[in-house]
Amino acid sequence: MAAATSSPPTIVVLAGGLSHERDVSLRSGRRVSQALRDQGHHVIEADVTSGLFDLLAGLSDPVVFPVLHGGVGEDGALKEVLALLGLPVVGSSAAASRIAFDKSICTPRLAGIVRTPRQVALPHDMFRELGARQLVQAVTDELGLPLMVKPARSGSALGCTKVVTAEALPAAMVGAYAYGDMAVIEEFITGVEVAVTVIDTGSGPYALPAVEIRPTSGVYDYTARYTAGETRFICPATLSDEVAERCATMALTVHRTLGLSDLSRTDIIVRDGEPFFLETNVSPGMTETSLVPLAVEAAGADFGELCADLVAAARARG
């Protein structure tokens, strides 16, 4: 628990934004806001607009709780601006957020520290100039098949495609480039998909129980993530105690190595008992089908109390 200060702050929950994940962010914002109000806190819900500075300047003791997903919400840009204003903010620093958000930087940064899939990062300009045929041959020779193609800087599985034939790779690349000018191609690892949330409210990071993800379609895409009934979630995951501990250790290692703060969620594939890192999120979803609230519940904690503790930790940090 973070130390309390003398008077309760006004909590500004930032949600929405202009990324492709705006709708999910708004849903996350509503849930966090209501959870904090249920704890008796004064909450203002706000979007990233030209009026945000004036709103924050007019409050005497604000703490900002961003639940923006993708783009400006997770790439560190907003955190940089809020730091200039000297406001307490829940979550990781701008620098740490930038590294975590960009898969073409984050995965190589962690390689050798935790198990990661082999990866190739290709900017759009290179893909266009060199031609798809030569690149397809080089990539499949290096990584084999199947593959997973992702935008380097996006979330919620937007623009992600599983590729099982070489002929399908160019179209998958085009789909990823619709969400940014850098795409990553990774070896596809088959196994049990889990997510591990790491929390730090001031006394050091700890891992919540792993959530196992079983999409009915077999692919944990945008629809499977945010449509009730499309995915079965099991928490704690059906892993042995030893493997579950290894997943928790991986999530904690990622959190510490990247210098993350307060809250992160690391996505992992377990193949033959061996965890492989997929990605980490500094602003994970908080909707009714999101993984962090499920893990909080499985841990026997209260979601509203956790949100309030994160606010208190940010306020104590200054």
* Each residue's pLDDT tens digit, 221-263: 777 777 778 889 999 999 999 999 999 999 999 999 999 999 9
From 156, 264, 283, 290, the catalytic residue: 156
Q: Decide if 21 is catalytic.
A: yes
CATH of 10-90, one of 3.40.30.10, 3.40.50.720, 2.60.40.1120, 3.40.50.20: 3.40.50.20
Residues of the chain with CATH 3.30.1490.20: 119-187
Q: Contact 206/198 with Cβ under 8 angstroms?
A: yes
Which of 152, 124, 127 has the alpha carbon at shortest distance from 139?
A: 127
Fold of the CATH domain 119-187: Dna Ligase; domain 1 (3.30.1490)
From 31, 74, 226, 262, the catalytic residue: 226
Residues of the chain with CATH 3.40.50.20: 10-90
From 74, 75, 212, 279, the catalytic residue: 279
Q: Decide if 265 is catalytic.
A: yes
β 192-199/206-207 pair status: antiparallel
From 97, 104, 264, 281, the catalytic residue: 281
Q: Decide if 285 is catalytic.
A: yes
Q: Decide if 16 is catalytic.
A: no
Q: Which pLDDT belongs to residue 5?
A: 47
* Each residue's pLDDT tens digit, 12-21: 999 999 888 8
Q: Contact 298/235 with Cβ under 8 angstroms?
A: yes
108 pLDDT exceeds 80?
Answer: yes
Q: Decide if 226 is catalytic.
A: yes
202 pLDDT exceeds 70?
Answer: yes
| 3 state SS of 44 | strand
Q: Which pLDDT belongs to residue 97?
A: 96
Average the pLDDT over 28-56 and give the result: 96
3 pLDDT exceeds 50?
Answer: no
From 267, 283, 304, 315, the catalytic residue: 267
46 pLDDT exceeds 90?
Answer: yes
Token pair of 57 as six digits: 């300047």
Residues of the chain with CATH 3.30.470.20: 99-115+190-317
75 pLDDT exceeds 80?
Answer: yes
* Each residue's pLDDT tens digit, 261-318: 999 999 999 999 999 999 999 999 998 888 999 999 999 999 999 999 999 999 999 7
Place of tokens 């193949």: 271
**pLDDT range class, residue 133, cuts 50, 70, 90:** confident
Q: Decide if 267 is catalytic.
A: yes
Q: Decide if 179 is catalytic.
A: no
Q: Is the pTM higher than 0.85?
A: yes
Exposed, middle or buried, 14 (CB in 10 Å: 0-12/13-18/19+)?
Answer: buried
CATH of 99-115+190-317, one of 3.30.70.3420, 1.10.4160.10, 3.90.1640.30, 3.30.470.20: 3.30.470.20
From 31, 285, 290, 309, the catalytic residue: 285
**pLDDT range class, residue 6, cuts 50, 70, 90:** low
Show the beta-strand stretches assigned E in the chain: 10-14, 42-46, 62-66, 119-123, 147-151, 161-163, 182-187, 192-199, 206-207, 211-215, 231-234, 263-271, 274-281
Q: Decide if 104 is catalytic.
A: no
| 3 state SS of 58 | coil
* Each residue's pLDDT tens digit, 144-155: 999 999 999 987
**pLDDT range class, residue 4, cuts 50, 70, 90:** very low
Q: Is 136 left (phi over 0), alpha (psi -120 to 50) or beta?
A: alpha
